[in-house]
Amino acid sequence: MSDQRSDGGPAVTATAVSPEPGLWAPRLRAMTVGSVALISLVAFEALAVGTAMPTVARSLDGLALYGIAFGGSFAASVIGMVVSGIWCDARGPRAPLWHGVGWFVVGLVVAGTAPLMGFLVVGRVVQGFGSGLLSVALYVIVARAYPEDLHRRIFAAFAAAWVVPSLVGPVLAGLIVEHLGWRWVFLAVPALAVPAVLLIHPGLRSFGATVASRVPAGAVARIAWACGAGVSAALLHIGGQQRGVTAVVLVVIALAGLLVCAPRLLPAGFLRAARGLPTVIGLRGLASAAFVGAEVVIPLLLSRERGFSPTAAGLVLTVGALAWSVGSWVQGRVPVPASRASLPRAGLTFITVGIALVAVAVQPVVPVAVLVLGWAAAGVGMGLLYPSLSVLTLELSAPGEQGRNSSSLQLGDALFAATVLALTGAVLAAGSAPGAGSYTVTLVVAGGLALVGALLAGRVVVGRTRPGG
């Protein structure tokens, strides 16, 4: 048996690709546990901070900096993703992962011990940069440590690592704030992050420098464009929380900045949906934008128009999260489709139909059960889509491009979602109170984005479909 992987990755021994492996095989078990744990911690922190931040802002008398506490972290994560992609391709994923965890932990400690809101914002920025570094490094680790036939399953595990915190994170954060104090929302996570990365460490020892032994040309310019995109995204987030002329000015400036900077961080041909990787990146962004655009409407619709309590409305969102987990599990276990476009197309079709059902349920005569069914369908679609696009990204990446392309995938996801969230917030805030018209507009836009993705899904295939893929 040849000891060169078919994707051009680093040489491995026959033992590494023997029929024995699974995610829990001895050589992968610790790395799987550590990787999934790290993603769970990043997800928990992202969700828990939203629950704790109102209390934090009151405690530190920092309501004026409330928006930048979120926008600054997001901007720093965008920069971290780009830096990590360059670093992984030049030196391998080991250093970016360790630095990512280090920055993440330091940021949490600074935020958790902050005497003033300004210090907390600094901690959030440092934390965001670290999460960007480690999220991309984990994708490159998957490409180099796991056999190709396990990629769908490990990415399904990563998806589940986000779903579980979405179910328990806000509730757990609320309990921590009430009984231990808001500082422990930040300070508890480092105690778990360090053991998680130590589990991954033994498997990282075999990762040396990759094909590119030095920083690739254009890296400095790419980081500069990332800074521009990050600042624009932060302005977009802050603008979405404002009202009147201030909101309009900030959103317009932010969108202009994203239009200039973002295309330079994404693959050539992205804007025209060129076949292969550009379309893969585009589909991830369209799906993310469609899902979050609908997600932000549902609790508002249920509470204002149907009289649901916040807890009951949250349970409907939980249905979507659980369905996402089910979809991820299914895509990791079905036989490899004849066409690589099959799972993305199916996922986007589910999302389109699901959001359409939610839009129908805007009408008071339609039972809420239709909305719940639609949101479950959208969740299944996301579960089918996300891991399959991650797998395609690695398949379409040469060894020296895995970091760059993984960062592009996550950047597209984050920037599309941030843009739609800001615009959706503007639509919902346009009137004195949201009504059926504003709900319908936002849901039609969200469903339209998913439909465009479904129509473009065939373009993930480069040339003629090969057998088994």
Name the pLDDT band for 206 (thresholds 50, 70, 90): low
Average pLDDT on 295-324 reads 82
Asked if 254 and 235 touch (Cβ cutoff 8 Å), the reply is yes
82 has a pLDDT exceeding 80: yes
Highest mean pLDDT among 5-9, 201-205, 262-266: 262-266
Q: Write down the domain spans for the chain.
A: 25-216, 221-264, 266-469
Instruction: Quote the distance between the C-alpha of residue 59 and its chain's center.
Output: 30
Q: What is the pLDDT of residue 247?
A: 74
Domain 25-216 has CATH 3.10.450.40: no
- How confident is the model over 341-391, as pLDDT tens digits? 899 999 999 999 999 999 998 888 889 999 999 999 999 999 999 999 999
Name the pLDDT band for 103 (thresholds 50, 70, 90): very high
Name the pLDDT band for 209 (thresholds 50, 70, 90): very low
- How confident is the model over 418-467, as pLDDT tens digits? 888 777 766 666 554 555 677 888 899 999 999 999 999 999 887 644 43
Q: What is the pLDDT of residue 463?
A: 61
* 443 vs 338: which has the higher pLDDT: 443
Where is average pLDDT lowest: 86-95, 167-176, 367-376, 405-414?
167-176
Q: Which fold has domain 266-469?
A: Growth Hormone; Chain: A; (1.20.1250)
At a CB cut-off of 8 Å and minimum separation 6, what does 180 contact? none
Name the pLDDT band for 8 (thresholds 50, 70, 90): very low
- How confident is the model over 150-198, as pLDDT tens digits? 888 888 888 888 877 777 777 777 778 878 888 888 888 888 888 887 8
Percent of the chain with pLDDT over 70: 87
Mean pLDDT of the chain: 82
Q: What is the pLDDT of residue 292?
A: 87
Q: What is the pTM of this model?
A: 0.81
Query: Do the first three CATH levels of 25-216 and 266-469 match, i.e. the same topology?
Result: yes
